[in-house]
Amino acid sequence: MSYSQFHAPPLTKINKIILVTAGICFLVVSILKAIGAFSLVGLLGLSANGLFHGHIYQMFTYPFVEVQLMNFIFNGLVVWFIGSELEGQWGQKIYLRFLLLTVVAVGIIYAVVNLLFFFGTQFYLTPIHGLSGINFALLIAYSLLFPDRPMAFMMVFPMKAKTFCWILAAIEAYLAIFSSFTASWAHLLAMGISFVIIHFQNNPLISKALNATWKPRSTKKKHLYVVKDDDQKPPKYWQ
């Protein structure tokens, strides 16, 4: 595998907004922590307790709350490199709807499961936050679209994108089951939802959710196709 042709894609509009918003939140969180004030994690992060107490906005704010510098840098790079390529292929509308559908679905399922099975426990009260969920969803989508693209696990070991993402899923499953790492369950949810969206993209509900329009239906339908070979002519993507 050769990495000589690697280049960073241009930072696209939606991802620029995501990174700027997350960056501002990170700075505010850092400043508040330095002066000993309250934490934005409890306010903007998503917890079942907060959601069922009427803090519906948490459903949309929790991905932007980063509290550690290295997490912010790594997650930001994934959004830039992977997210920008997907946004360039799909267009802003479908890319944004993909993200919203993933973020909201993860939030709802996570909150409902905590309400039904962990009410009053630490899981019910602990908020999830950060760009990691979005990143895992993007990586799964990328691995389905470009399964044979080379990626580097831990920035060192070269492997195919599909192998890379299966390893990530296995690590998150281990952390979720054996380390009681709450966020890992949300990460697995994001992966699963991304897989369902891409794999079953021809389903009428998914297709309409991602490419809905109030205009009369065109005779030319546009869909997202899973590309088996990068040399396919012409390559087919969501349009």
**Residues near 50 by beta carbon (within 8 Å), at least 6 away in sequence:** 42, 58, 127
Q: How far apart are the first and last CA of the chain?
A: 29
Distance CA 127, CA 52 (A): 13
Please name the amino acid found at residue 92.
Q
Residue 65 token pair: 């709350």
CA-CA-CA-CA torsion sign (53, 22, 60, 106): negative
All structural domains of the chain, each given as residue ranges with its CATH number in brackets, are: 13-211 (1.20.1540.10)
Note the pLDDT tens digit of each residue in 106-155: 999 999 998 888 888 888 888 999 999 999 999 999 999 888 887 765 55
Residue 155 token pair: 């920035």
Rounded to a whole number of angstroms, the CA Rg of the chain reads 18
Note the pLDDT tens digit of each residue in 145-182: 888 887 765 556 677 888 888 888 888 888 888 876 77
Q: Is the pTM of the predicted complex or chain greater than 0.85? A: no
